[in-house]
């Protein structure tokens, strides 16, 4: 028998989504420095204690906001890879192209990277240097996706994870610090990946 939905759990999830949406809106419009728990509590219509019950501090809130953004990217990456179900290099090219083009238009990402004051740039470590929620989450998800879609049984789990980490790190580097056209960046990344996968695919 299916479990009856828990009303309190559903309401709590709706509250968390409202808080995340409000946080994202403030960051995009005014920067991370404009985010504070009192303002968010007022915007979503709850008390500060309720806010702190859901998110213990701003750092925890930042991780959740970024994690949801990453999850959106991962859904798009899975759809991009699925366009080429038999050709791993074509699938990875599609995924990298999607990531860089979508990222270039992402309002939250642009707001974070454009931060000029110390409070605004406080969100950068969560996005760029801390292992979670971006790098580790992306590596784990893309590794599982590639294994599921293409098999690549000639690669051990460790080898595939290493390859995926290289791919993800290169994509994030071009995403966070673009130096030229997206097409060129995609070509550069795929050349590196193809050099590793070539012998595996030939075998």
* DSSP, residue by residue, 70-127: HHHHHHHHHHHHHTSSS-HHHHHHHHHHHHHHHHHT-HHHHHHHT--SHHHHTTHHHH
Q: Does some domain include residue 1?
A: no
State residue 106's pLDDT score. 94
Q: Does some domain include residue 165?
A: yes
State which residues of the chain have pLDDT below 70: 1-5, 203
Q: Does some domain include residue 203?
A: no
Q: Does some domain include residue 99?
A: yes
Looking up residue 121, the CATH number of its domain turns out to be 1.10.357.10
Q: Does some domain include residue 169?
A: yes
Prediction pTM value: 0.89
Half-sphere exposure of 84 (CA within 13 A, CB side): 13
Q: Determine the Cα–Cα distance for residues 170 and 176; give it in Å rounded to an integer.
A: 10
Q: Determine the Cα–Cα distance for residues 2 and 195; give it in Å rounded to an integer.
A: 50
What's the domain range around 175?
Answer: 7-197
Q: Does some domain include residue 2?
A: no
Q: Which pLDDT tens digit goes with each residue over 122-138?
A: 888 888 777 778 999 99
Q: Which pLDDT tens digit goes with each residue over 150-168?
A: 999 999 999 999 999 999 9
Q: Does some domain include residue 144?
A: yes
Q: Does some domain include residue 79?
A: yes
How many domains in the chain?
1
């Amino acid at each position: 028998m299916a479990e009856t939905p828990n009303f309190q759990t559903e309401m709590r999830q709706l509250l968390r989504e409202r808080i995340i949406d409000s946080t994202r809106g403030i960051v995009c419009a005014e920067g991370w420095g404009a985010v504070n728990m009192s303002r968010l509590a007022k915007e979503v219509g709850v008390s500060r204690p309720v806010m702190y019950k859901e998110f213990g501090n701003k750092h925890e809130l930042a991780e959740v906001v970024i994690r949801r953004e990453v999850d959106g990217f991962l859904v798009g990456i899975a759809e991009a890879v699925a366009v080429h179900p038999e050709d791993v290099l074509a699938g990875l090219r599609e995924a990298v192209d999607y990531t860089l083009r979508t990222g270039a238009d992402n309002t939250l990402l642009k707001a974070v990277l454009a931060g000029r004051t110390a409070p605004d740039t406080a969100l950068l470590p969560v996005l760029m240097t801390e292992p979670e929620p971006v790098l580790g989450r992306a590596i784990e998800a893309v590794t599982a996706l590639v294994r599921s879609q293409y098999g690549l049984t000639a690669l051990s789990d460790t080898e595939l994870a290493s390859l995926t980490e290289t791919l993800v790190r290169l994509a994030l580097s071009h995403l966070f610090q673009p130096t030229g056209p997206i097409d060129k960046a995609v070509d550069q990344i795929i050349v590196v990946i193809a050099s590793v996968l070539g012998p595996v695919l030939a075998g």
